[in-house]
């Protein structure tokens, strides 16, 4: 192991612009990756950061209005489910959001579900559900619902659908607590802005919020760690005097394809989740791969087997039910496999020693 | 290694010391002058001021709320730097690392994060563990959570369940004390309330804000937690709210209470603009209530961001967002509001807020009960502290600022009539000795033998901004970490917490509650020794009971 780590340190010490991709790891692993990227002037990205990067940009431009999972579950009288993404991310989502028992809830409305632009799917029994769907694309349906909520005029060929949209808009205005549920990976930024503006219209007289599905692979935990480290989410470069975030420029696949990145550290070490490697990864760009799964890497690449977070060792991860970082206990009582943090911290020390020598 | 700080003017009000002399450090502690031994290391500090390391009792440095603020406005440090308030030196800007470095450079060695969310305590501790040099602690937020409110529903708690629940929460989150933010107000906001006063009832639960605070005071007293309930009262930032603050003080009964960022409650509603200084009225009440302590929450002009668990207040404040973006996060217990704000010298209200804060400091009869804070970053970034010290210690500097304020603000402010200048000894009380005493961190804030060897050395100069912006030397636990205002050794501090006992039955009840209503297991957010990923990170402060 020591010689492998030394080879990895040698490879990275020579890199001009390394990218730390994948990042399917726990918070300790992310902390170590960020520290090494800062030391080397590299980039941090996450394999599922497309959606979180978009949401982060909307946040920086306008802000946000999130609700925790628990608040939605206990207090929302109207849940607006947007797109297919949420149920694809969690098949039991709606059952969780409409439990049999909840805390005191504002208003007298019966709980209701409005699904917008989704395929037919399982809905909770006994909950009145309105489906706003049809041939219209999802962004248009969200915009129509926003217009109906504001009582702004709009035209639709499908009169029946138009009536449903108007009725849904009225329900939103009369609700005590509306929550829009979506997956940032599915929605483009203008759609997120439309949802946010609808919420901000509603909160003038009542309660309203958003619930964004969390990214797979502890994407939200890694993002939070990046933010408390440097105030910016992933897809951030430490090459300049100050950290720079850019969701296009610092995307792993693009950096590899363009040849801008001259080294890759690929991390895929979470129990129950697998980061699909970038198409050109491990082919042509010198790579250090930290993985808890079997890896098909290039001949000269350095592969280091690590423990799977939450299986081989306890792991701090973003947990949707508490809308924050919690600790998941290891499944196996004892594992000798090193953690991502162990490996990256050791590589960092070897680089320091090499620099000092 | 025996270290001698030789010939400095030692300001140590906890021990009635203001004299030229030596301070000795060994094995991380202050020690008595050794007999017959030569020191291993001597620092000639003649002509300089020697104080204990400073302690910040209320500064938002970690946790969900702070990270939301960073997400919303990562550019804040850059704007602040352009206004002459550098946050650096780290290029990582508004990150945990820069926080510890900058605090240490100013001579601070202990900082308290005052709003740790119980379910997010792990994140807060992870963030705090990424802050170098300084020691830290968190105050955990209760009072708007459904478990507490359910226990208080009928107005009085018949069993010890609330006591056990508070003790469990303190232990589970490894907190040093309890924070109560707009008691009942955030819960009422969930039922669409837009204001909430001391004697209003929380919908569905019936309990009043007064009832919640009284219950928490009783519980903290029963548990023997050294730090009294740390309370953010109702009606923050509203004209006329001095009445609420005074009423809250009157309601405290026989138990100690700490009122946070009191400047934001020092507002009357006199005059043509319906906004006036309530500082004299407020200070009269504070001076009278001997068991009350406060920190000030001084405002400074410039760009900042307001971060608060008072989600009701922040919802109202969103209209004044500058730049025009804001976050309202609705969550278990308090939730969070994050609203950027630019305090402007030319604004009547902002100018008066600035003056009210200074009035509060200067009208304090007892500096042991009126502690220094800006409620970072709400009133101002902590990097502005040296400028505020200057204003408090130099009335000419104060006049220079005051004379540039709008005429209307000057006319209704009593600041110009106050000639008091805070002395070095009084400053050491407000920033060292008093916070240590209040928090139960008795091994710091002073320089008697046995104290932790946290020491700051400054060059005395007329320009107090320059004097306190960069300490000559800072020792953290006996180790030299700052020389000439620059960090020379990045060490890592400890995290302090209490561990009151409780009946283990409460764990079953809380687990059942979380399972039923949140589909969550409380063990997920319990802070264990390994969470900070730093050996020997935690230190326990004893409770009296």
Q: What's the rounded Cα separation, in Å, for the pair B220 and B163?
A: 8
Selection from A66, A74, A94, A196 nearest residue A142 by Cα: A196
Q: Cβ of A231 and B93 within 8 Å?
A: yes
Which of A70, A232, A327 minimises the CB distance to B531? A327
* Domain contains B478: no
For the record, the structure tokens of A196 come out as: 């946010």
Which residues lie below 8 Å from residue A243, measured CB to CB, with a gap of 6+?
A230, A231, A232, A236, A237, B91, B92, B93
Q: Cβ of B146 and A103 within 8 Å?
A: yes
Q: What's the rounded Cα separation, in Å, for the pair B516 and A147?
A: 37
With beta carbons less than 8 A apart as the criterion, state whether B338 and B419 touch.
no
- Chain B contact probe: residue of A57, A227, A240, A313 with most B CBs at under 10 A: A227
Residues of A in contact with B520 (CB under 8 A): 70, 319, 321-322
pLDDT at position A217 is 97
- The CA-atom distances, in angstroms, between A258 and each of A15, A237, A250, A251, A284 are 16, 16, 11, 11, 12
Reported as half-sphere exposure (CB side, CA atoms, 13 A), residue B249 has a value of: 24
- The CA-atom distances, in angstroms, between B61 and each of A103, A230, B114, B171 are 32, 13, 9, 21
A32-54 tens-digit pLDDT: 999 999 999 999 999 999 999 99
- The CA-atom distances, in angstroms, between A134 and each of A97, A192, A241, A340, B165 are 25, 20, 50, 47, 51
Omega into A112 within 30° of 0, i.e. cis? no
Omega into B377 within 30° of 0, i.e. cis? yes
CA-based nearest distance B67→chain A, Å: 6
B72-123 tens-digit pLDDT: 999 888 887 777 666 654 545 679 999 999 999 999 999 999 999 999 999 9
pLDDT at position A5 is 97
Q: Cβ of B517 and A102 within 8 Å?
A: yes
Which residues lie below 8 Å from residue A354, measured CB to CB, with a gap of 6+?
A9, A10, A13
Q: Cβ of B327 and A63 within 8 Å?
A: yes
- Give me the sheet containing B302-308, strands edge to edge: A63-64, B326-329, B336-343, B302-308
Residue with tokens 């007289």, as numbered in its chain: A205
B153-191 tens-digit pLDDT: 866 666 799 999 999 999 999 999 999 999 999 999 999
Q: Cβ of A326 and B326 within 8 Å?
A: no
Closest-CA residue of chain A to B205: A104
For the record, the structure tokens of B385 come out as: 């502290």
B244-281 tens-digit pLDDT: 999 999 988 789 999 999 999 999 999 999 999 999 99
Q: What's the rounded Cα separation, in Å, for the pair A175 and A106?
A: 9
B302-321 tens-digit pLDDT: 999 999 999 999 999 999 99
| Element containing residue A12 per DSSP (H, E) | helix A2-14
Residues of B in contact with A93 (CB under 8 A): none
* Average of per-residue pLDDT values in chain A: 95
Selection from B525, B169, B415 nearest residue A325 by Cα: B525
Could you give the percent of chain A with pLDDT greater than 70? Answer: 100
Domain count, chain B: 1
* Domain contains B352: yes
| DSSP 8-state assignment for residue B252 | T
A331-347 tens-digit pLDDT: 987 889 999 999 999 99
Q: Cβ of A64 and B92 within 8 Å?
A: no
Q: What's the rounded Cα separation, in Å, for the pair B344 and B348?
A: 9
Q: Answer whether residue A28 shows pLDDT above 90.
A: yes
Closest-CA residue of chain B to A236: B92
Selection from B225, B264, B261, B233 nearest residue B249 by Cα: B233
Selection from B137, B325, B206 nearest residue A193 by Cα: B325
pLDDT at position B89 is 46
* Contact B516/A at CB under 8 A: yes
DSSP, residue by residue, B323-367: SS-EEEEB-STT-EEEEEEEE-TT-HHHHHHHHHHHHHHHH-S-T
Selection from B396, B286, B331, B369 nearest residue B144 by Cα: B331
Q: What's the rounded Cα separation, in Å, for the pair B299 and B281?
A: 19
Which of B122, B321, B332 minimises the CB distance to A316? B122
Residues of B in contact with A94 (CB under 8 A): none
Q: Cβ of A228 and B70 within 8 Å?
A: yes
* Domain contains B314: yes
* Contact B530/A at CB under 8 A: yes
* Domain contains B173: yes
Check residues A356 and B427 and name the one with the higher pLDDT: B427
B421-445 tens-digit pLDDT: 999 999 999 999 999 999 999 999 9
Chain B window 148-167: which residues touch A at a Cβ cutoff of 8 Å?
Answer: none
Residues A150-161 as b or e (16 or more Cβ within 10 Å = b): eeeeeebeeeeb
Q: What is the CATH number of the domain that holds B70?
A: 3.20.20
Task: Name the E strands within B206-301.
Answer: 230-232, 257-259, 267-268, 276-277, 292-295
pLDDT at position B85 is 63
Q: Cβ of B524 and A328 within 8 Å?
A: yes
For the record, the structure tokens of B221 come out as: 């007293």
B318-352 tens-digit pLDDT: 999 999 999 999 999 999 999 999 999 999 999 99
Closest-CA residue of chain B to A207: B192
CA-based nearest distance A208→chain B, Å: 9
The helix/strand count (H/E) of chain A reads as: 12, 15
Which of B77, B92, B326 minimises the CB distance to A229? B92
Which residues lie below 8 Å from residue A307, measured CB to CB, with a gap of 6+?
A269, A292, A313, A335, A337, A338, A339
Closest-CA residue of chain B to A320: B520
Q: Answer whether residue A281 shows pLDDT above 80.
A: no
Which of B203, B328, B520 minimises the CB distance to A65? B328
Which of B130, B204, B531 minimises the CB distance to A228? B130
Chain B window 191-250: which residues touch A at a Cβ cutoff of 8 Å?
Answer: 191-192, 203-205
Q: Answer whether residue B297 shows pLDDT above 80.
A: yes
Q: What's the rounded Cα separation, in Å, for the pair B161 and B180?
A: 18
Q: What's the rounded Cα separation, in Å, for the pair B393 and B468?
A: 12
Closest-CA residue of chain B to A237: B92
Q: Cβ of B526 and A73 within 8 Å?
A: no
* Contact B120/A at CB under 8 A: yes
CA-based nearest distance B323→chain A, Å: 9
B478-528 tens-digit pLDDT: 999 999 999 999 999 999 999 999 999 999 999 999 999 999 999 999 999
Which residues lie below 8 Å from residue B318, measured CB to CB, with a gap of 6+?
B326, B328, B337, B339
DSSP H stretches of helix in A15-158: 27-40, 49-62, 69-75, 85-89, 93-97, 138-149
Range(s) of the domain holding residue B146: 54-446
* Domain contains B531: no
Q: Answer whether residue A180 shows pLDDT above 90.
A: yes
Secondary structure class of A134 (helix, strand, coil): coil
B188-216 tens-digit pLDDT: 999 999 999 999 999 999 999 999 999 99
CA-based nearest distance A310→chain B, Å: 12
Chain B window 384-443: which residues touch A at a Cβ cutoff of 8 Å?
Answer: none
CA-based nearest distance A131→chain B, Å: 26
* Contact B119/A at CB under 8 A: yes
Q: From the CB of residue B38, how many other CB atoms can be counted at a distance below 10 Å?
A: 8
Closest-CA residue of chain B to A234: B71
CA-based nearest distance A279→chain B, Å: 31
- Chain B contact probe: residue of A222, A243, A325 with most B CBs at under 10 A: A325
> Strand B3-12 vs strand B336-343: parallel, antiparallel, or unpaired?
unpaired
The total number of residues shown for chain B amounts to 545
Which of A56, A68, A103 minimises the CB distance to B71? A56
Q: Which CATH number fits domain A1-48+217-356: 3.40.50.970, 3.40.50.740, 3.30.300.180, 3.40.630.20?
A: 3.40.50.740
Q: From the CB of residue A342, how many other CB atoms can be counted at a distance below 10 Å?
A: 18
Q: Give chain B's end-to-end CA distance (angstroms, integer).
A: 37
Q: Delimit the domains of chain A by residue range.
A: 1-48+217-356, 54-212
Q: What's the rounded Cα separation, in Å, for the pair B268 and B369?
A: 22
For the record, the structure tokens of B260 come out as: 């946070």
Closest-CA residue of chain A to B312: A207
DSSP, residue by residue, A162-231: HHHHHHHHHHHHH-SEEEEEE-TTTS-HHHHHHHHHHHHHHTTTSEEEEEEPPPTTTHHHHHHHHHHHHS
* Domain contains B431: yes
A5-17 tens-digit pLDDT: 999 999 999 999 9
Give burial (CB, 10 Å; 0-12/13-18/19+) of B323. Answer: middle
Q: Cβ of A209 and B330 within 8 Å?
A: yes
Which residues lie below 8 Å from residue A188, measured CB to CB, with a gap of 6+?
A54, A139
Q: From the CB of residue A349, how many other CB atoms can be counted at a distance below 10 Å?
A: 12
Q: What's the rounded Cα separation, in Å, for the pair B88 and B100?
A: 10
This complex has an ipTM of 0.96
* Contact B117/A at CB under 8 A: yes
| Architecture field, domain A54-212 | 3-Layer(aba) Sandwich (3.40)
Q: Cβ of B517 and A69 within 8 Å?
A: no
Closest-CA residue of chain A to B73: A60
With beta carbons less than 8 A apart as the criterion, state whether B52 and B450 touch.
no
* Domain contains B401: yes
Q: What's the rounded Cα separation, in Å, for the pair B136 and B138?
A: 7
For the record, the structure tokens of B72 come out as: 């919303």
Q: Answer whether residue A194 shows pLDDT above 90.
A: yes
Omega into B274 within 30° of 0, i.e. cis? no
Q: Cβ of A60 and B520 within 8 Å?
A: no
* Average of per-residue pLDDT values in chain B: 95
The total number of residues shown for chain A amounts to 357
Q: Cβ of A60 and B71 within 8 Å?
A: yes
pLDDT at position B92 is 52
CA-based nearest distance B154→chain A, Å: 15
A259 backbone φψ class: left, alpha, beta (φ>0; ψ -120 to 50) = left
Question: What is the pTM (predicted TM-score) of this model?
Answer: 0.97
- The CA-atom distances, in angstroms, between A82 and each of A77, A137, A161, A187, B60 are 16, 12, 16, 9, 35
| DSSP 8-state assignment for residue B272 | T
Closest-CA residue of chain B to A102: B517
């Amino acid at each position: 192991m020591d010689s492998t780590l030394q080879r990895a340190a040698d490879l990275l010490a020579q890199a001009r612009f390394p990218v730390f991709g994948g990042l399917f790891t726990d918070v300790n692993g992310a902390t170590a990756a960020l520290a090494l990227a800062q030391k080397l002037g590299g980039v941090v990205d996450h394999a599922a950061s497309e959606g979180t990067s978009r949401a982060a940009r909307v946040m920086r431009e306008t802000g946000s209005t999130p609700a925790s999972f628990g608040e939605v579950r206990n207090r929302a009288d109207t849940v607006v489910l947007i797109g297919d993404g949420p149920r694809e991310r969690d098949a039991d989502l709606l059952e969780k959001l409409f439990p049999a028992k909840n805390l005191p809830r504002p208003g007298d409305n019966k709980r209701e579900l409005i699904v917008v632009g989704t395929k037919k799917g399982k809905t909770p029994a006994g909950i009145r559900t309105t489906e706003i769907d049809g041939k219209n694309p999802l962004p248009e349906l969200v915009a129509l619902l926003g217009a109906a909520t504001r009582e702004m005029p709009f035209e639709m060929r499908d009169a029946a659908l138009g009536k449903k949209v108007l009725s849904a808009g009225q329900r939103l205005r009369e609700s005590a607590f509306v929550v829009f549920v979506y997956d940032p990976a599915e929605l483009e930024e203008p759609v997120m802005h439309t949802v946010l503006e609808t919420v901000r219209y509603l909160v003038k007289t009542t309660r309203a919020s958003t619930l964004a599905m969390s990214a797979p692979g502890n994407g939200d935990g890694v993002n939070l760690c990046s933010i408390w480290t440097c105030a910016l989410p992933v897809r951030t470069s430490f090459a300049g005097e100050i950290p720079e975030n850019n969701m296009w420029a610092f995307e792993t696949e693009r950096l590899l394809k363009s040849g801008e990145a001259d080294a890759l550290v690929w991390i895929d070490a979470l129990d129950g989740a697998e980061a699909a490697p970038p198409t050109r990864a491990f082919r042509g760009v010198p790579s250090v791969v930290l993985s808890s799964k079997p890896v098909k890497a290039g001949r000269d690449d350095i592969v280091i087997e690590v423990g799977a977070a939450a299986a081989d060792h306890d792991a701090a991860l973003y947990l949707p039910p508490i809308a924050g970082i919690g600790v998941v206990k290891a499944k196996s009582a004892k594992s000798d496999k090193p953690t991502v943090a162990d490996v990256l911290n050791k590589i960092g020390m070897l680089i320091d020693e090499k620099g000092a020598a | 290694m025996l270290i001698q700080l030789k010939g400095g003017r030692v300001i140590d009000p906890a021990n009635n010391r203001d004299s030229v002399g030596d301070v000795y450090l060994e094995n991380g502690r202050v020690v008595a002058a050794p007999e017959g031994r030569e020191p291993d290391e001597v620092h000639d500090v003649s002509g300089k001021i020697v104080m204990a390391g400073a302690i910040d009792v209320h500064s938002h440095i970690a946790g969900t709320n702070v990270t939301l603020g960073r997400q919303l406005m990562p550019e804040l440090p850059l704007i602040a730097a352009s206004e002459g308030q550098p946050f650096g030196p780290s290029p990582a800007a508004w990150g945990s690392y820069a926080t510890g470095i900058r605090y240490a450079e100013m001579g601070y060695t202990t900082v308290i994060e005052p709003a740790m969310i119980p379910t997010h305590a792990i994140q807060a501790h992870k963030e705090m563990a990424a802050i170098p040099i300084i020691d830290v602690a968190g105050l955990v937020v209760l009072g708007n959570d459904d478990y507490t409110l359910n226990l208080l529903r009928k107005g009085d708690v018949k069993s010890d369940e609330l006591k056990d629940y508070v003790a469990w929460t303190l232990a589970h989150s490894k907190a040093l004390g309890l924070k109560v933010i707009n008691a009942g107000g955030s819960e009422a906001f969930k039922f669409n309330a837009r204001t909430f006063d001391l004697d209003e009832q929380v919908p569905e639960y019936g309990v009043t804000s007064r009832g919640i605070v009284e219950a928490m005071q009783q519980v903290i007293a029963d548990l023997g937690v050294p730090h009294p309930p740390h309370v953010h009262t109702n009606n923050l930032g509203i004209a006329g709210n001095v009445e609420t603050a005074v009423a809250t003080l009157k309601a405290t009964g026989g138990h100690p209470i700490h009122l946070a960022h009191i400047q934001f409650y020092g507002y009357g509603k006199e005059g043509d603009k319906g906004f006036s200084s309530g500082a004299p009225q407020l200070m009269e009440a504070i001076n009278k209530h001997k068991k009350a302590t406060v920190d000030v929450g001084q405002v400074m002009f410039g760009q900042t961001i307001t971060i608060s668990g008072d989600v009701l207040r922040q919802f109202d404040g969103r209209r004044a967002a500058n730049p025009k973006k804001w976050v309202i996060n609705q969550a278990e217990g308090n939730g969070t509001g994050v609203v950027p704000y630019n305090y402007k010298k030319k604004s009547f209200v902002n100018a008066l807020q600035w003056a009210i804060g200074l009035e509060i400091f200067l009208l304090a009869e007892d500096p042991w009960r009126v502690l220094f804070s800006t409620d970072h970053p709400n009133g101002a970034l902590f990097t502005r502290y040296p400028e505020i010290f200057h204003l408090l210690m130099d009335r000419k500097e104060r006049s220079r600022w005051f004379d540039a304020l709008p005429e209307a603000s000057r006319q209704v402010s009593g600041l110009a009539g106050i000639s008091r200048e805070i002395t070095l000894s009084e400053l050491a009380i407000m920033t060292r000795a008093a916070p240590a005493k209040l928090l139960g961190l008795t091994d710091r804030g002073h320089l008697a033998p046995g104290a932790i060897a946290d020491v700051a050395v400054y060059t005395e100069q007329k320009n107090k901004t320059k004097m306190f912006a960069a300490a000559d030397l800072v020792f953290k636990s006996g180790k030299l970490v700052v020389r000439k205002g620059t960090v020379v050794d990045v060490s890592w501090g400890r995290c302090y917490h209490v561990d009151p006992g409780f009946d283990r039955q409460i764990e079953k009840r809380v687990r059942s509650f979380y399972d039923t209503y949140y589909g969550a297991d409380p063990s997920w957010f319990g802070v264990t020794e390994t969470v900070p990923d730093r050996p020997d990170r935690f230190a326990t402060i004893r409770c009296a009971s």
